[in-house]
Amino acid sequence: MRAARLIKMVLLLQARPAMTAAELARELEVSERTVTRDAQALSEAGVPVYAERGRTGGYRLVDGYRTRLTGLARGEAEALFLSGVPGALREMGLEDAASVARLKVSAALMPSFRDAPTAAAQRFHLDAPAWFQEPETPPLLPVIADAVWDDRRLAARYHRGEAEVVRELEPYGLVLKAGVWYLCARVAEAAAFRTYRIDRFTAAEPLAERFGRDEEFDLPGFWTGQAERFARSILRAETVVRLSPAGRRRLPYAVDPVAARDALAGAGEPDARGWVTVTLGVESEEVAHSQLTALGPEAEVVSPESLRRRFAEDAARLAALYRR
């Protein structure tokens, strides 16, 4: 514990010209007295750290005591500090490792690039969870993340419907989608890649045996394909809709984007007013009613007749409501 703290202290001093005892104590989460003792221990170990008294004093390293990364342009240094989502790193148990890594990079950068971390952080922030949802970290996520990093087979149990299934998995990668964690893994006995929601795992135990990764496996490509297949798999019904030009623009924001893209790609020619007729895949009539209501008068349901009647009834009720 103390060794890690001493290393972090050196990295902090490499990254900044000087730091007061109070600043170091705050960063290291220790007392100022502990900072004094640690500085003395570093000095005795040969690290050239010294203290300057006075109002502008503090702890410093002798000039030149640092390593530098070569070949990094300013834009590359700033982009480096955008990698990763802070909340995701914390949930996987990697926050401390990421913090130390950023310190090492900061300490090694040329002095003219030292503001790169601040410049990036003040311009871009990645917020993964969806709106109106309280993010919950699956308790088994750190264990599964360790197995992913270590290419270690995983003995797992998870809920599939009402049943609990036991599998031996080769965990290839993790995906955070709208605040929900997924594992992309190869099922050992089937040699097939599948996707699992982490919060449905009831047990996960890394095995002693490691697996050989398929070097051709592309996690982003696999996830994109899986997501599109899933989106299409739940579109079990169809509705024919007429859309105004405004309705065409708003359709991807009202319904599933994959369904909207497929519907607009197959649209007929616009009529004299610019309206087009599309066949839209929907999860159910109930879901279609809820989604298409958001388009208001920019969409007209043609079929099925039952859904068209629901919108006609809605329109009549709205007209009566506003006439009052």
SS3 25: helix
Whether the pTM exceeds 0.85: the reply is no
pLDDT surpassing 80 at residue 116: no
pLDDT at 156: 94
Q: In sequence order, which residues have a C-beta less than 8 Å from that of residue 73 and are 6 or more positions away?
A: none
pLDDT at 234: 79
- Pick the more confident residue, 136 or 35: 35
- Round to whole Å and give the CA distance between 248 and 313: 23
The per-residue pLDDT for range 227-272, each reduced to its tens digit, is 888 877 778 889 999 999 999 999 999 998 888 999 999 998 999 9
Mean pLDDT of 122-142: 71
Neighbours of 192 (CB within 10 A): 9
pLDDT surpassing 80 at residue 299: yes
pLDDT surpassing 70 at residue 64: no
The per-residue pLDDT for range 17-54, each reduced to its tens digit, is 788 888 899 888 899 889 998 888 888 878 888 888 77
SS3 271: coil
- Round to whole Å and give the CA distance between 117 and 115: 6
pLDDT at 112: 63
- In sequence order, the β-bridge partners of residue 171 are 185
Mean pLDDT of 193-202: 92
pLDDT surpassing 90 at residue 313: yes
Stretch among 12-16, 103-107, 239-243 having the lowest mean pLDDT? 103-107
Mean pLDDT of 105-120: 63
